[in-house]
Chains A and B, each alone.
Chain A
Amino acid sequence: MTSILLPDSEAELEAIITEAAATASPIAIHGGGSRDIGRPVQAARVLSTQAMTGVTLYEPSELVLSARAGTPLAEIEALLDQNRQRLAFEPIDYRPLLGTHGEPTIGGVTASNASGPRRIQAGAARDQLIGIRVTTGRGETIKSGGRVMKNVTGYDFVKLLAGSWGTLGVLTEVTYKLLPKAETETTLIFEGLDDIRAVEAMTTALGTPFEITGAAHLPGALSQTLLRFEGFANSCEYRIARLRDLLSAFGDAEAVRDGASADLWRAIRDAGPLDAGEDDVVWRISVKPTDGPAVAARLHAELGARYFFDWSGGLVWAAIAGPADGGAASVRSLMAVFGGHATMIRAPHGLRAAIPPFQPEAPAVTAITRRIRESFDPAGVLNPGRMG
């Protein structure tokens, strides 16, 4: 029986980790438990941040918000919505894909460096995160960054901790910069383009000054290539007209507006168009955009993978059924050819225990990572092995 630790203060958290380090007892770190990703952690105890909640700072006029790590993302998004603001990086909700039921927390968003379709324009969590407090594997709580927009004081642990999946420390509080919500959004949908043409259309669009905030391609009998525009209504109309002109060789495009457009991108954000079967292994593959179609074609030819593209081709979501290794051998050898990296996002525990879900790194990089991890968590008690 796994016991769940629910510290409600940094002091309590420090005591738990200090004791765990002293007795070399690993702990699995959870936020809301909605992102069961990575190698399963072998630990007798689970530590959840769910008792450390609450927005600690919100200054709408300064576009900044701080919250304790266990604060539900939904609570923060509702608060921002009241002030017509948002987290610009559009964090994915993994629950539909992974079939999990927990409540995503802002700490989990940060520890997984979550992002979404707006990654191409606004970056990922790491690009909007400006401050953290974190309790390391030494049982010490440190800070990095702060609440101001520009800060180069000391090493940038803000970036290092974003996407560290609880392997360096337990985040206790995070501070994000915010952006105003767009007044309107519209999506142009081109139909019937093959993958290569679609990526050509998307990269062409992103090479213009017309500020595309989403570029996805959904293959199929009648494929759809989607380009999102956000901003003031008159500016959007202008940019859409210019883009239609520039992309006329790719056919006519239908315009979908506001709520309907938002629904499309929410689904894309959460990998909905993949429509992954219950037993499919799901990969998230990050490459340079023009390599997307070739990577997808190879996976389709070798393994019958189903897939779609976000980030103008730079993010390939692929669902693979059949092979015992979940397609890992093929995916990894493709990454060796194309560069980029792949994460086995969804697979049975046994498979994720047997095959590293995260992309293996070059030995020299592994050595750096190991030294950093030993420095933060010398006893190796925080989510050991989760990142492979």
Chain B
Amino acid sequence: MSAILMPKPDERVLARRDAIIAGLAALLPPEALITSEDERRAYETDALTAYRQMPLAVVLPQTTAQVAAILAFLNAEGVKVVARGAGTSLAGGALPTADAVVLGVSKMNRVLGVDIANRTIRVEAGVTNLGVSAAVQHLGFFYAPDPSSQLACTIAGNIGMNSGGAHCLKYGVTTNNVLGVKMVMIDGTIVEIGGEALDAAGLDLLGLIVGSEGQIGVVTEATLRILPLAEGARPMLMGFQSAEACGACVAAIIGSGIIPVAIEYMDRPAIRVCEAFAHAGYPLDVEALLIIEVEGSEEEIADLISRITAIAADYNPATMKVSQSEAESAAIWKGRKSAFGAMGRIADYMCMDGTIPTGQLPRVLTGIADICNGYGLEVANIFHAGDGNLHPLVLFNANKPGELEKAEAAGADILKLCVEVGGCLTGEHGVGVEKRELMVHQFNTIDLDQQMRIKTALDPQWLLNPHKVFPLEGRPV
């Protein structure tokens, strides 16, 4: 049924399943090893649910030492390992294969220390994204990257995919907010990279590790930057009758010297669905809606809003509304953050994640509409407009034969368009399996070969999450 192919499992590994499980059992307490079919089923897919595959076994270690023992053993046995946080990857980053062991970090979920004077927190990698902020909120701090899945997704997964979120326009993405990690290499070696200082010695290995999609090592602990909470924050809604006017308004705001904390964009279909779900007060009679959030003191917020309002006036907004209460602000964000879930109630969808130069927004929106029309599919657009990160949701009906394939083809065409206008395939979700075969549109063979050489240098047998990121063709043998 699916267009993305996974390689045939290694029969030699499947044949040794009992021995491999016995070997793992010798290294782990019984509750850390999952072998029954029923229990393994929870790990057969992630948030790219069109694809699923029962793994050989699942391990849920509780310590770095256990992770090291598991990896050393599997490396010696030549068995593949798929590291998994909460399984919220939209790109199939945690999709297993039948001959692979899933290594879940969810049991490693302790906060190890908070250092307010130095503004850092040390956590085990299975702590959830929101759990980090929750641990420091009472002290007036938060952790900045805020992917939509933040309630469930783990720091391990955030580091693997270099996750972003709606508020990274001002605060950066994961890679800008991680100071150090403890990581286990495939041979079981435990390394500490970075630390508590702003700079680390030597090559920027941390920069390489963040976003390496679980292919270089398994991160078990991390030191993260925490930031003081703003005194206040307020979203405003701004509706426009055309995408062009809306895009030009975003450019003018940013060009004026104001960097709001977030500038989110929704088109008409997305507005309708999100409003029906969250009752956020979104205007239903506009083509494009911006949620712009500013923060600071009451006076600073008022000042920024009046500056933004003055700039926007040149672009004839059809509606302009500033949140008047905490409840209203919460509803505005609930609508945006639950957009994917709300859309899922009315249709199946493929969520794309390309980034484009912001000046190309009108052209790309027209292109997306044309592409989806061509396949006879509907599309709803939700973007991080400030940084050009697009999330077109290509809607389809999974029960209709051929529709998933059509949606995937439309999605691929959209991402190719993003690359064509100077952008990229993925802004924050990662390549995973989903965009693996599209990599050749963004990179040439020389580019990809050098990336794969690094994979080979650090994981010679290609055992760590191997069937992701790079096209299956052209890999080193």
Contacts and interface: CB of A to CB of B under 8 A. Distances in A.
Interface of A: 59-64, 84, 113, 115, 119-120, 123-124, 126-127, 136, 138, 140-144, 146-160, 162-164, 167-168, 179-183, 200, 203, 206-209, 232, 234-235, 238, 242, 286-290, 311, 314-315, 339-341, 343, 358-359, 361-362, 364-365, 367-369, 371-376, 387
Contacts of B450: 136, 138, 140, 142, 157, 375-376
A234 B173 CA distance: 29
A144 B447 contact: yes
A147 B254 CA distance: 17
Given A155-B208, A155-B451, A375-B450, A369 B199 contact: no
B446 A154 contact: no
B427 A341 contact: no
A372 B203 contact: yes
A375 B476 CA distance: 14
B388 to A, nearest CB: 5
Nearest to B415: A153
Nearest to B195: A339
Contacts of A84: 257
B162 A156 contact: yes
Given A341-B200, A358-B201, A159 B207 contact: yes
Contact of B451 (A63, A157, A287, A339): A157
Contacts of B457: 371-372, 374-375
A206 B443 contact: no
A315 B199 CA distance: 9
Nearest to A342: B201
27 contacts: A61-B251, A61-B252, A63-B254, A140-B446, A148-B427, A153-B439, A153-B443, A154-B443, A155-B451, A155-B455, A157-B450, A158-B207, A159-B208, A160-B205, A180-B257, A180-B259, A209-B231, A238-B300, A288-B118, A289-B117, A289-B118, A290-B118, A311-B198, A339-B195, A340-B195, A358-B201, A371-B457
B467 interface: no
Contacts of A286: 197-200
A148 B357 contact: yes
Interface string B353-376: 001111100000000000000000
Interface residues on B, range: 35 or more
Nearest to B457: A371
B424 A148 contact: yes
B417 to A, nearest CB: 13
A235 B164 CA distance: 28
Given A183-B257, A361-B202, A62 B359 contact: yes
B427 A163 contact: no
B118 A150 contact: no
B399 interface: no
B203 A160 contact: yes
A235 B198 contact: no
Contact of A387 (B203, B384, B448): B203
Which of B161, B173, B190, B429 neighbours the largest number of chain A CB atoms within 10 Å of its CB?
B173
Nearest to B303: A234
A359 B173 CA distance: 28
Q: Which 6 residue pairs are nearest across A and B when measured between Cβ atoms?
A: A159-B207, A180-B257, A359-B201, A149-B387, A150-B427, A341-B201
Given A149-B388, A203-B117, A364-B189, A371 B207 contact: no
B423 A146 contact: yes
Contacts of B116: 207
A152 B162 contact: yes
Nearest to B358: A62
Given A148-B356, A150-B355, A159-B210, 7 more contacts: A147-B422, A154-B451, A155-B451, A203-B119, A207-B141, A287-B196, A288-B196
B357 A64 contact: yes
B204 A126 contact: yes
Interface in B41-62: none
B276 interface: no
B458 A368 contact: yes
A154 B201 contact: no
Nearest to A287: B197
Contacts of A206: 119, 228
Contacts of B195: 288, 339-340
B425 A153 contact: yes
A163 B203 contact: yes
Nearest to B353: A152
Interface in B437-465: 439, 442-443, 446-448, 450-451, 453-458
A124 B228 CA distance: 20
Contacts of A287: 196-197
A37 to B, nearest CB: 14
Contacts of B221: none
